[in-house]
Amino acid sequence: MSDERLVLGVNRTADGSICLLGSSSFICSIQKERLTRQKHHWGKPNDFRDWYAKRLGALRRPVELVVECYSSDDEIENIEGYHEELREVLKFTGEPRIVQMSHHLAHLYSTFCLSPYKEMAVMVVDFQGSPARLFTETWPGAADAPPDWLEVSSFYRCGERGVECLSKQLWDGDRRRPAGLGAFYGNLTATLFAGPGCEGKVMGLAPFGDPHALGLPPLRVEGERVFIPDAWLEVFADDRGFRFFADGTGTFERCADLAAAGQRCFEEALLQLAAWLHRRTGVDTLCFAGGTALNCVANGRLLRESPFRNVFIPPSPHDGGTALGCALYGLVECLGVPNRFQWVNDFLGPDTEYEGLEALLDNGGGKFSVERPSNLVEQVVELLESGRVVALYNGRSELGPRALGHRSILADARHPHIRTWINRHVKGRELFRPLAPIVLLEAASSFFDIDRPAPFMQFAADVRPDKRDIIPAVTHVDGTARLQTVSEHDDPFLYSLLKAFEARTGVGVLLNTSFNGREEPIVETAAEAVNCFETTAMHALVMPPYVIRKKNEPEIPPR
């Protein structure tokens, strides 16, 4: 009988997720959206009955501890029902033990515990976290904090002497007077786009605009606190003229100008927060988590311009990564087990099964041909070089929102029109949206202005001027790209593919975007991969060792 101790982390809020972590091995972590196929799906009662327990066989193993986190929403009012469900559905090694931790603390443990550094400053910045009355940590302002005020940013020093919370910014929750950097970007996004999770669209739109055209002021930064000037609040309250993408009113140019102004304000304020934290700690390494840490343009400036020598941002800094933070907290702080896990890749999803694949393809009514080539890498390179768009489904899925080579759509970055073609015919999204490059680690500095590995696609960097015409499909309008570096250690198959493509073309770069159709989460199962492939204009689906083609092939994008 195994003596491994298992901890289950649960995120009950936006981007609902779970993580099963063992004392000697990582089991799996997944966001709820990958199971329900509803993007950014919140945690709700009956999640374990309806989704997690049904789909994840690992949950049949007895767990010693469950650690869950809530946020500022009302889900904690369902806590008794949540706990009853856990006791009914899960097996425990003894009496069921379920503990809670506050939201920013879960973000903290999802980053500093997993970084390769020993001493670090940590910055957690998001829209809003737990109310002060539910904090499960100590901090200097605790005695004077109004119980219902919400954390919007938290600052820490972490190292061999433990965790010290240096400060927090709290907000009274008045939606008419939002405060904090996360609330600023959230309101900016809601002004320009309808629906949740559109912050990346703002970031992609900003380079098309003039940040000075609207005359909007910078954010007010006082130490570690960020406040939103009245001029910005007036725009958020009356968004007429900025609804081009929501209902067709206003113009693209005006919306781009607002995105540019907001992105510039966000970046400048973030740099000021980082400078304040560096003055307080004096350490060389910054860890950054919270939803705002997905802003790779701002992250790139942190890397280049902040006083920190090292910047670590996990691949899942958003709420979807807090379940992992919960599990690590339970293992280290509650059970006293040393952490042996580092975030060297993001392939943390459940084990992949191809069982039933042949039947699935047969149900396609003869639409597909399936090959098992003797040299899979060479065949994929041939497909890419010919201008075809290739989906890659390989092993365990990524936990975070960025596809890093296991649930990816790949294409030739030298193809000048393929980005528009993919946005229109595969992704079904706005044509201004950029697509990202993957690059051999050893070739990265020759194509991009970066001097270190970037395996999680968390930083934007300038494409070197002499390379922009070589890889136009992944060069954004401002000459930047959100790159992912790939070493043999990161992903042997993806690395061998890039090496073979480089050998054939002289370019160790490919276009990479997430494997999903319009308004869908990234595919999780083989059946979802085949369905997405069938219903979009991709040309091939690679599921090692197989290559699946459409007998009635879509047009190849014109060069």
Q: Tell me: the pLDDT tens digits for 370-400?
A: 999 999 999 999 999 999 999 999 999 999 9
Three-state SS for 140-162 is: CCHHHCCCCCEEEEEEEEEECCE
Name the residue ranges covered by the structural domains of the chain.
6-105+320-334, 116-313, 357-550
The answer to whether the CB of 426 falls within 8 A of the CB of 538 is: yes
Q: What's the CATH number of domain 116-313, 3.30.420.40, 3.30.2020.30, 2.40.160.20, 3.10.350.10?
A: 3.30.420.40
| pLDDT given at position 216 | 98
Give exposure, 435-453, as e/b (b: 16+ Cβ within 10 Å). Answer: bbbbbbbebbeebbbbeee
| pLDDT given at position 364 | 62
Give the number of other Cβ atoms within 10 Å of residue 350's Cβ.
Answer: 21
Reported pTM: 0.96
Structure tokens belonging to residue 85: 């469900």
Structure tokens belonging to residue 541: 């689906």
Domain 6-105+320-334 shares a fold with domain 116-313: yes
| pLDDT given at position 222 | 98
How far is C-alpha 441 from the geometric centre of its chain's CA atoms? 21
| Domain at 357-550, CATH homologous superfamily | Carbamoyltransferase, C-terminal domain (3.90.870.20)
Q: Given this structure, which CATH class describes domain 6-105+320-334? A: alpha beta
220 DSSP β-pair partners: 227
Three-state SS for 484-553 is: EEECCCCCHHHHHHHHHHHHHHCCCEEEEEECCCCCCCCCCCHHHHHHHHHHCCCCEEEECCEEEEECCC
| pLDDT given at position 1 | 42
Mean pLDDT of the chain: 95
Pairing of strands 480-486, 436-440: parallel
DSSP summary character for residue 212: T
Low-confidence stretches of the chain (pLDDT < 50) are 1
| pLDDT given at position 355 | 66
Structure tokens belonging to residue 348: 């943390």
Pairing of strands 368-371, 310-312: unpaired
> Strands, DSSP E only, in 102-235?
120-125, 150-159, 162-171, 220-222, 225-227
| pLDDT given at position 3 | 83
Largest CA distance in the chain: 69
Give exposure, 38-65, as e/b (b: 16+ Cβ within 10 Å). Answer: ebbbbbeeebbeebbbeebebbebebbb
Distance CA 477, CA 464 (A): 13
Which one, of 139, 153, 120, lies nearest residue 281 by Cα? Answer: 120
